[in-house]
Structure 1
């Protein structure tokens, strides 16, 4: 007679999950202790986790979990205040959350210049500011601040911007559409086709527009879906941006450039002499050193007719040999040159 096989009694899935959760909590507490003792929060933890994970979770989910772990540990050091262009529930706020995590000490300020001031004066460890948009181009206020402030770009965050038409009444009731000028501009063709009779009224922020729409059913706001949830509005029409690849690139600013990752970019600001061939000679430096430029903007120097600053970004880290050689060559040709910073390249989010 064959022997009966012994069946191994295993814990129920619920008990196993409880056990794993307890282990995760212990590890989180240990990580927080280490961060607190060393005053280091491993800013690149989310990126490292994404490259290492092999499980069923999406990379975005893994990144989000580790981003919040880093943000929570950052609060233990007591010096990680992050300034952003407020108010809350704007796209700048969303970008700050995407980069630093919702648990971070995020502080809204009234202007882009105020973000730079907070970082330069040391009252904020980092700031996040819009730098360019794929529809409207450069953000002039940000470039003007780079020309004046002593800060470094230490990160970038390209955020896909989805504008929604929000309201507290029916779409047929809308007589005025409010938003910040850039949002109105990025939706101008949609508005002309679908709400030709509505007045377009610029305001200071998408959040201000949402607040107004919450109190007046004849006013619609162009803002994010997150703003709709915050202010109790309905999404009358989602994704009304004219350019479906509408990306705003945010710069993370701090007092030091980021460490080399192997997938970096470097930004420079330079002024060259106003004479024939000077710009072409400067650009030839990048070709000779086999450096690929990814961005170039000219910006007039305030109060000086005929003088321009050039903002240039290229692939590579400022500490690499080819980049150092190119920067040294540019310094000989430039009237002024500032390395604004090196930072890891990031793909658009959203």
Structure 2
């Protein structure tokens, strides 16, 4: 076919897309007005989950699934902005992986607020300065993020969603690889690239800093210095990229939690997060986990953190499959509470679409 005819076909389709997008936004605006009148949350993770699953099932290609869902996340973000502008706090500054996760989860239609520490993200949501927060909770290479677990136990906010972000680390420097003598980064990226650094920069000094963006700032000021950061950092620096995908694990993924104040309704495929502490006796943990087995509940994560009492007491963090409103989950939690000195339910939320 003639290329001009093909382009004319695209122009006609674009005209229809713009018209239908605006019609969709008009409906979204009416939904937002209804939610405001009925005191309902603007962001509804279970609805988001159902919509994205339905769209994926309708897709026959050639557009791939991930591209389709990325497009619709921006459409949904624009729709939410029309319903009521939302603010999302994240572990800053801009250019970090938390910033990237917030952008990919919520799109560019929300107001993103960088925070100096994970506890500050929780504080912003708790006080109402932000509607939601995006915090890292675990990485496939480096394990759990302890400040997030600690903040969950002390905060009144709830987990309302999760998001998995594939992590690719890049090496930024004005010097070629053989001349680099110092590498700055956050402790997590340094740990995720340990094998690469030992193999390629064994004579360099590795220095931990507060964020990957701070690492970039320091590497910009010094000769023979480098920084490890993500792709988004390239938007905030003129430093060349001297090596890409230097993470040791090709399946390097960080799981993020979205925190808010509302409770989700069941989506049909949920995860529940909770924590508990036990009275000090032999077999206490074994007995505490028995209700999950008895009620046929799958446990996807368990981690322990020492309590700050100084008496070697521990708090156990657990993720299980199901919603807290499910009868078997409710029964298991009721039985678990009987053996606990402390019990807290963080929330139930749609399990991430991987």
TM-score by length of structure 1 reads 0.91
Contact 1:75/1:105 (CA < 8 Å) preserved in 2?
Answer: no
Q: What is the deviation of 1:79?
A: 4.3
Contact 1:274/1:306 (CA < 8 Å) preserved in 2?
Answer: no
Q: Work out the CA distance in 2 between the residues paired with 1:221 and 1:127.
A: 27
Which of these residues, 320, 342, 348, is aligned with residue 348 of structure 2? 342
Q: Work out the CA distance in 1 between the residues paired with 2:205 and 2:268.
A: 49
Equivalent residues in 2 for 1:99-248, closer than 5 Å: 99-248=105-254
Q: Work out the CA distance in 1 between the residues paired with 2:102 and 2:174.
A: 27
Q: Name 1:17's counterpart in structure 2.
A: 10
Q: SS in structure 2 opposite 1:12? A: helix
1:36 aligns with 2:29: yes
Q: Name 1:250's counterpart in structure 2.
A: 256
Q: Work out the CA distance in 1 between the residues paired with 2:10 and 2:196.
A: 49
Structure 1 segments unaligned to the other structure (5+ residues):
1-10
Q: SS in structure 1 opposite 2:171? A: strand
Which of these residues, 320, 324, 327, is aligned with residue 321 of structure 1? 327
Q: Work out the CA distance in 1 between the residues paired with 2:76 and 2:174.
A: 37
Q: CA RMSD in A?
A: 1.8
Q: SS in structure 1 opposite 2:48? A: coil
TM-score by length of structure 2 reads 0.90
Contact 2:298/2:321 (CA < 8 Å) preserved in 1?
Answer: yes
Q: Name 1:63's counterpart in structure 2.
A: 69
Q: Work out the CA distance in 2 between the residues paired with 1:329 and 1:254.
A: 27
Contact 2:158/2:346 (CA < 8 Å) preserved in 1?
Answer: yes
Q: Name 1:82's counterpart in structure 2.
A: 88
Q: What is the deviation of 1:138?
A: 1.4
Q: Name 1:262's counterpart in structure 2.
A: 268
Contact 2:85/2:111 (CA < 8 Å) preserved in 1?
Answer: no
Q: Work out the CA distance in 1 between the residues paired with 2:318 and 2:111.
A: 31
Q: What is the deviation of 1:297?
A: 0.8
Q: What is the deviation of 1:254?
A: 0.9
Which of these residues, 48, 57, 67, is aligned with residue 54 of structure 2? 48
Please tell me whether Structure 1 or Structure 2 has the larger radius of gyration of its CA atoms: 1
Q: Name 2:35's counterpart in structure 1.
A: none
Q: Work out the CA distance in 2 between the residues paired with 1:70 and 1:347.
A: 17
Q: Which moved more, 1:76-85 or 1:292-301?
A: 76-85
1:331 aligns with 2:337: yes
Contact 2:126/2:157 (CA < 8 Å) preserved in 1?
Answer: yes
1:285 aligns with 2:291: yes
Q: SS in structure 1 opposite 2:11? A: helix
Q: What is the deviation of 1:34?
A: 2.1
Q: Work out the CA distance in 2 between the residues paired with 1:257 and 1:49.
A: 25
Contact 1:166/1:235 (CA < 8 Å) preserved in 2?
Answer: yes
Q: SS in structure 2 opposite 1:84? A: strand
Contact 2:95/2:235 (CA < 8 Å) preserved in 1?
Answer: no
Q: What is the deviation of 1:55?
A: 3.1
Contact 2:78/2:109 (CA < 8 Å) preserved in 1?
Answer: yes
Q: Name 2:306's counterpart in structure 1.
A: 300
Q: Work out the CA distance in 2 between the residues paired with 1:217 and 1:347.
A: 43
Q: Work out the CA distance in 2 between the residues paired with 1:68 and 1:192.
A: 40
Q: Name 1:27's counterpart in structure 2.
A: 20
Q: What is the deviation of 1:304?
A: 4.1
Q: What is the deviation of 1:144?
A: 0.7
